[in-house]
Structure 1
Amino acid sequence: MRAGWALLLGLSVCLSGHTCRGFPNKLPEHSDPPPDPLLDYDRLDEEFAARNGTGCGPCEPELCPAARGCRAGLVLDACGCCKECGNLEGQACDPGERSVFYGLCGTGMRCMADPRPAAGAGRLQEEDEEEEEEGGEVCVCEEQQPVCGSDATTYMNMCQFREASFSRPQLKTRGKGPCKTGTFPIIKVRPQSQVNGTGSSLVFLCEVFAFPMALVEWRKEGQDVILPGDDPHISVQSRGGPLKFELSSWLQIEGAGPEDSGTYRCIARNNLGSVSASAVLGILGPSQFGVPSLRRDSS
């Protein structure tokens, strides 16, 4: 009996005084494991905000990769920190002072709408619309005057001279304008191949640079006649420009028919030599083109 009372007394003391080691008087504090940095979105948001939304961290030039082989000089990258190669003449570019997608133009160039003439007239309307959508700014040399190099070569502008002098540091300029020894004809804008429907009108353009000035003629492959010959639906027009020492020539065909299909060649020559460029013309019949025939009368 006494043993039973002693057991009950000990148990009551244990519960009231919290002195029994079998029952802890404090549960361990709950602690979460440290978050994974890759999954800590709050931290990532803070870091992104610290970069002002540009994706650029602090500028550390000593960590920038070396830019090599830059024929158009160096420009700053999208973050305005590291230097990278500038775009060459004629390449697509980003307008403004920040590289976004295409990059910035190199030394002595600016980003502007492509000044080169369209390939030709009389093409399909759908093709014209697609070309307009694809068109954009390109790098254009600010100094368009020809330059004579110390290698007796005439460069069409200062940017092309700089590009050539990159691989030949000894190359210098003798002066502005073509070399007095003359310049072999250079076709700056070549005629472009095109496909048209029967009865359509079209134009081929050929733009030539040369000194002395070049003479330009048009021929159709397989024929010995210099166009236009005596064909009333073919005409040729030429004029100086758009720049000094240049000549632009157009071959126009009105009311084209299947027999006009073939290869047309622009030939430029002066007393130093000749050069040529060709383009293919395809004329589709009404069944292929899907429209009523607009062909001129054979008479």
Structure 2
Amino acid sequence: MKPLVVTVVLVVALVEVSQTYPIWYHRGWLRWLKEGDSCGTCNLELCSMPTDCRAGTVLNSCGCCPECGNVEGQICDLDKDNHFYGHCGDNLECRLDAEDIKFGEIPEPQCVCKSQETVCGPEGRTYENICQFNEAHAGEERNISIKHEGPCKTAPVISLPPQDTQNFTGNDIIFGCEVSAYPMPHLEWKKKGNKMFLPGDDAHISIQARGGPRKYSVTGWLQIQGIKKSDEGIYTCQTKNKYGFAYSSARLKVIDGSSSTFQSNPGSHITSGSTDYGDYFDSTEDEEEVEHGSGDYEK
């Protein structure tokens, strides 16, 4: 078989395999076939400008025309002279995952942001790093810059409110509450009609809190062991920092006796407003209304 025929057959076979397995296309097979080995003279007038490049542009394999740079987390070429996977865009560098190497795995190099410091966007949103900020605002006509380095200073936002629940006497229940804010907020629990913060001196009630799962967030739990009929009521997760407050409530219904089945009716939502922080928690309103709210302190 003549060399030219062998080459054509090989190219056709690689194209068909790449289309059958999209991951191969992602890793650069068709890209390699299209680029070829010859670059020729660089003529910028013949270059087509790429659009919607979320990580900016880099030069192609010939070092002539711009093409979209690889974004954070995308496979890349460690060798600058290699253009198989592509090169990382602005503020990114190609790295191997040290953890994968540590456990004996063969890692694939990926684009990693050079800076892992959080930044605050002009819209008041916190981004994990400058690369994520650039991705979010890529393609916008006006030039947008960060507001400042570090997280945005915000009032607490309850991202996961406690949920209504019911159970039989003697069983255990747990209410959860997840809050995000910077500076880190303080989280407390109250039962409606009781001015004391929980757990107080009640041995069968306990509370816990820890950071996470995201940056600048706190997760708290209220646990009641061996619930009694007197535990029935509305429980409120309330949180605050110097910029504002938020609260969300859920109902506990306690059923006398025992059974193998019970109906759970989760249902909790958060609304925003200018509700006075102190007035709500001392409220004697009808307990049929489960309250949720948030607000900013006056500057």
Say yes or no: TM over 0.5: no
Question: TM-score by structure 1 length?
Answer: 0.42
